[in-house]
Amino acid sequence: MKTQPLLAAGRIKLSRFDPRYDAGLDKEKTRARTEADTRRIGELQQLLYANAHHALLLVFQGLDASGKDGSVRSVLQQVNPAGVETANFKVPSAEEMAHDFLWRVHRAVPRYGSIGVFNRSHYEAVLVERVLKIVPRPVWTQRYEQIVDWERMLAQNRVVILKFFLHLSREEQAERFQERLGNPKKNWKFSPSDLTTRERWDDYIEAYEDVLSRTSAPHAPWHIVPADRNWYRDHVIARATVQALEALDLKWPKPARGLSRVRVT
């Protein structure tokens, strides 16, 4: 039976989750609520920046065409760019390969006061590297525990972590690929390698199920986000982001002592 999106817990089977789920919400009303949430994120980001005591890390994972770029663009549209740090982890360089797999990722963790965005992330080390057999099974199997421990360390050091798996159907991916092929403004986003990855759909779904089952924790939860409907996807992500920032209960910093006596001449 298909169920609603939730925080991943226990053993996850993605076949139980409907990529087209929208909670029966009205599309236009939900878009309006999302717009309000994005404005609220902009306000809360200013508080985050002014206090510089916490950081927020948003991790986006999903199969090709699931909407990672669109989600980031939509949800953070009202945020001051100066307060956002983004990272996209591609094939490791020679320098990165000379270190442990988390080395390059830790360097990209946002500083206090900023919102960090990982568009793809350290989870590629237990997804692509697993499916393509870039590293042997004994290597990638121990990485789950290492990732959980690393994220716990970040959380204990005031980095709030939200992880979003954009759950796209195979049928919707095919439509989006076809749209890219027919749209001159989107041709550049398509690569023949996308079809090679698509051929390994079942392998990637199995790998994602292990990721969601083994690395979702209270300090760094995975949100399973239905991604076939962009408007609902953005609503879920914006709501979760607002809730995480509001939970910090930030206040404007107190002015420096004696500031009330300062006069500008």
The identity of residue 179, as a single letter, is E
Q: What is the pLDDT of residue 255?
A: 82
Q: What is the pLDDT of residue 178?
A: 92
Mean pLDDT on 51-58: 98
Does the pLDDT value for residue 135 go beyond 70?
Answer: yes
Does the pLDDT value for residue 257 go beyond 90?
Answer: no
Residue ranges in the chain assigned as alpha helix (H) = 27-51, 68-75, 94-97, 103-106, 128-131, 137-156, 170-182, 192-199, 201-215, 230-247
Q: pTM above 0.75? A: yes
Q: What is the pLDDT of residue 194?
A: 82
Q: What is the pLDDT of residue 158?
A: 98
For residue 242, CA distances in Å to 52, 201, 221 come to: 18, 33, 15
Query: Does residue 193 or residue 214 have the better pLDDT?
Result: 214
Matching residue, tokens 């950081």: 55
Q: What is the pLDDT of residue 8?
A: 65
Does the pLDDT value for residue 219 go beyond 50?
Answer: yes
Does the pLDDT value for residue 118 go beyond 60?
Answer: yes
How is the chain split among helix, strand and coil, in percent rounded to 5? 50, 15, 35
Topology (CATH) of 14-251: Rossmann fold (3.40.50)
